[in-house]
Amino acid sequence: MARYGMVIDTKKCVGCQDCVVACKTENQVPHGYSRDWLAYETIGKFPKLNMEIRTERCNHCDNPPCVYCCPTGASHISDGGIVLVEHDKCIGCKACVASCPYDARFVHPEGYVSKCTFCEHRVKEGKDPACVSVCPTHCMYFGDFDDPESEVSKLLQERKYHAIIPEAGTKPHIYYLT
C-alpha cells in the first residue's frame, strides 16, 4: 500500500502562486476559495534577512483530527493515506474545519466541506497533482513515502527538512526542504 505525500523545496519556490491557480482550474474551485496558498516568512533586519516561501495545503496527516471529529464519517482516510471528504455524507457542521491546525478546510458554497485531495483523480491515472505538474520551478515533488526508492523518500534522506506545526501531533505528510 502506498503512502502518498509531498516534498517541497523552499530554496526553489519563488511564490508565484501557479500552484494555486492550477488547483483552482483543475478542480473548478469556486471564486473566493482555494485549496492551497502561499506562506512567506522573513526574519532579520534589513539587509541581513532570511526568507522562506512555502506553498501550503492539507497535510494529509497520519493522525488527522478532522477525521476523528467528523460525526458522519464523511472525512476519512482513503487509499494511499489521502484524507478525503465524501460530499454526500458531509452535513457542513464545520467540526473538521475547527480541528485542522493548518486551516486547510472550507465550506464549499454547495454546502459541504472541501479541501486538497492531492488530485486523487489524477493520481489514479498515474499523474502528479495539478499543483506539482504546473510548477515552473519544479520545487514540488509528489510520491510514495512507503517506497524507499521514490524521489520523495530519497530527498528526505539527502536534505534537511521540516514540517509545519509538527507539535500538533497530527503527523503531517508534507515536508519542506530548507
Query: What's the grid cell of residue 22?
Result: 492550477
| Binder among 2, 69, 77, 112 for other proteins (CB under 8 A) | 112
Give whichever of 39 and 63 is closer to other proteins, judged by the CB atom: 39
The cell 533586519 sits on which residue?
45
Query: Does residue 32 belong to the site contacting other proteins (CB under 8 A)?
Result: yes
CA nearest to 58, candidates 5, 128, 107: 5
Do the Cβ atoms of 172 and 61 come closer than 8 Å?
Answer: yes
The radius of gyration computed from the CA coordinates of the chain, to the nearest angstrom, equals 16
Length of the chain: 178
Query: Does residue 154 belong to the site contacting other proteins (CB under 8 A)?
Result: no
| Binder among 14, 39, 98, 165 for other proteins (CB under 8 A) | 14
Give whichever of 71 and 109 is closer to other proteins, judged by the CB atom: 109
Give whichever of 36 and 144 is closer to other proteins, judged by the CB atom: 36
Query: Does residue 53 belong to the site contacting other proteins (CB under 8 A)?
Result: yes
The cell 483530527 sits on which residue?
65
Quote the least distance from Cβ 168 to other proteins, whole Å.
27
Separation CA 34–CA 36 (nearest Å): 6
Query: Does residue 109 belong to the site contacting other proteins (CB under 8 A)?
Result: yes
Query: Does residue 26 belong to the site contacting other proteins (CB under 8 A)?
Result: yes
